[in-house]
Chain A
Amino acid sequence: MISAPDPRRDPPWLKRLLLVAGLGWLGLLVLAPIVAVFAGALSRGLGPYFSALSDPATLSALKLTLGAALCAVPLNMVFGVAAAWLLARFRFRGRQLILTLVDLPFSVSPVVAGLLLVLVWGRQGWLGPWLSSHGISVVFAWPAVVLATVFVTFPLVVRELLPSMEEQGSSEEEAALMLGAGAWTMFRRITLPNIRWALLYGVILAATRAIGEFGAVSVVSGHVRGETNTLPLHVEILHNEFRFQAAFAAATLLIFLSAAAVAGKAALERKAHR
């Protein structure tokens, strides 16, 4: 049997070259660093690895990290759904401005984000004097960690929801209204089920970013061990104290969290493709 050559097939030498270049780059740049973390963490065997993980400072850092994410992500979830509804379903003056402002935290360096928070909430900031006279400390305390996390995860949920809502169009929602559904029923029974995967996806992204944020949190936290020290900051401290094995051990925790997020994202994408 004679078969015509597939016109979309690349010559073998080109295919080999691109595969080597692409996979080589991925391996060198991404895979090797991840492997190196585990190698560093296990460099003294399993015993020291687990004892580094059960160190009270590491555990409290993990708790603070998860706590900040648990505060910031639901807040941004509510905001994200509201903003996506507003931007996808209505055309009004000022819409473009809101779009730009929503995207803004993406383009702000995490360090500058921290600076912004210091300027408002810090001791010399706008609200600083009032806050300190009432005995409330924000900067160098856990509220600042939450605020920084909110800032950096701000656009993520909206960004996932907006295209999905726009693509779906409003006719299912209109149909629900025509059938007599009220606003809340429409939202709960039609809108929410339709955006649930995009929402989950956005929440995963936001949670990942929240857990891993370093620069912004670094500026506002004050590195108070056991109180404002998130896991990424804890990794930095251990590294600066030349306790490399412990630093890498704590880093594996963060890698597990990121890998879980990436796996969740991949699973959602497969679901969306089907």
Chain B
Amino acid sequence: MSISIRGVSKTFGAFQALKDVSLEIPDGELVALLGPSGGGKTTLLRSIAGLETPNSGQILFGGRDETLSRPQERGVGFVFQHYALFRHMTVFENIAFGLRVKPKHERLPEEEIRAKVDELLKLIQLDWIAQRYPDQLSGGQRQRVALARALAPRPSFLLLDEPFGALDTLVRKELRRWLRQLHEELRMTSIFVTHDQDEALELADRIVVMMDGRVAQSGTPDEVYDRPATPAVYRFLGDVNLFHGRVAGGAFLHHPTAPDGEDAATAYVRPHELEVERFRTSEDAIDTVLLHAWALGPKVRLELRRRDNSDLMEADVNRDRYRNLGLAAGDQVWVTPRSLRVFRAEDEVAI
């Protein structure tokens, strides 16, 4: 089922958590709500679930207005940040809860409930701990139980609030892959909140970047990563180098300090988009000194200082290239941007 959010605003006292947010989420997509904390992503998720009531705007599920309906009636599966497992119930009873509380005429017979829970337990590969209590489980296991519990009543969507936030790196990686597989199988419209760009880029069909209560950008992972809509999105989605300059005749002219005037602009370049040379090979090359280099998995990160304005820069090269360059701290290095994204204030300028 698709979800439409139309002009939703929400305030808490003096704090405006959502400012006129509109968003379309097509059926069957796995969507990441990505952004810094306080950006409004959790509030938006809770509004979709019915756990918050917007001050204005509409929330539609498949064209049906659900803005004011109660959470019980929305048919939404929700996985809480800290899982909110019922601590006095076993894993089995936790998962069965949503099936057992259905009104009598809709409720499945006991054997079918048991069969369904068993099936879900197999799905999350935890059938061997069905009789344990939540405090006897590891973080990753709790997470999977929470997911199974949310899926049991066959919701129309799945909402996940920071689903991997409280887990360590290895478990997180495994669960991500598992969630992705699960989504491929079920094809259920799912939205998850995260502040981790890697998580969003890896998992989502579509990323919605939320900042300061607004949707800053919405698009596929490639679009969001390669063509960020604003400098803020650029900065949020990974390391970035920044150059001051002017826009003249459709070209960006480097300038050591931030210039004044209408044509002043800032250009952004990711570390892997910089060409690193021992000698000057182009007009645009920037003169720097290597401060420090360290291995970062398959690549090497160089920390450089510009000679003209002493700004720090970061560049990535692959290991072979680094070996060939034969660099040592203090060496002169020429750096050329392969591609630039230029913004005048907050508006992008196409170059």
Indicate yes or no for A touching B, C-beta below 8 A: yes
Query: Chain B residues with Cβ under 8 A from A178's Cβ?
Result: 49, 51, 71-72, 74, 76-78, 150
Size band of the interface chain B makes with A: 20 to 34
Q: Is there contact, CB below 8 Å, between A175 and B153? A: no
Of the listed stretches A16-24, A180-188, A209-217, A251-259, chain B binds A180-188
Contacts A174-B80, A175-B78, A178-B78 given; does A194 touch B101 at CB 8 Å? no
B322 at the interface (CB under 8 A from A): no
Say yes or no: is A1 at the interface (Cβ < 8 Å to chain B). no
CA distance A205 to B77 in the complex (A): 41
- For chain B, what secondary structure do more than half of its interface residues adopt (helix, strand, loop), or is it mixed? loop
Total cross-chain contacts (CB, 8 A):
61
Query: Is A133's beta carbon under 8 Å from chain B?
Result: no
Decide if B101 touches A175 in the complex (CB within 8 Å). Answer: no
Find out whether the CB atom of A181 lies under 8 angstroms from the CB atom of B72. yes
Tell whether A179 pairs with B84 under 8 Å between CB atoms, given A174-B51, A185-B101.
no
Residues of B within 8 A of A11 (CB): none
A side interface size, CB within 8 A: 16
| Candidates B74, B84, B98; contact of A171 at CB < 8 Å | B84
CB A189 to nearest CB in B, in angstroms, measures 7
Question: What residues make up the interface of A, taking CB atoms closer than 8 Å to B?
Answer: 171-172, 174-182, 185, 189-190, 193-194
Taking A178-B51, A178-B76, A194-B87 as known contacts, 9 extra A-B pairs with beta carbons closer than 8 A to each other, sorted by chain A number, are A172-B87, A174-B71, A174-B84, A177-B71, A177-B72, A178-B77, A179-B98, A180-B102, A181-B101
Q: Shortest 7 CB-CB distances between A and B: which pairs?
A: A179-B98, A171-B84, A181-B101, A175-B84, A178-B78, A193-B88, A177-B71
Q: Which residues of B are interface residues toward A (Cβ below 8 A)?
A: 49, 51, 70-72, 74, 76-78, 80-82, 84-88, 97-98, 101-102, 149-150, 152-153
Provide a sorted-by-A list of 29 A–B residue pairs whose CB atoms are within 8 angstroms. Answer: A171-B81, A171-B82, A172-B86, A172-B87, A174-B51, A174-B80, A174-B84, A175-B78, A175-B85, A175-B86, A176-B86, A176-B97, A176-B101, A177-B71, A178-B51, A178-B71, A178-B72, A178-B150, A179-B98, A179-B152, A180-B102, A180-B153, A181-B72, A181-B97, A181-B98, A181-B101, A189-B86, A189-B101, A193-B86
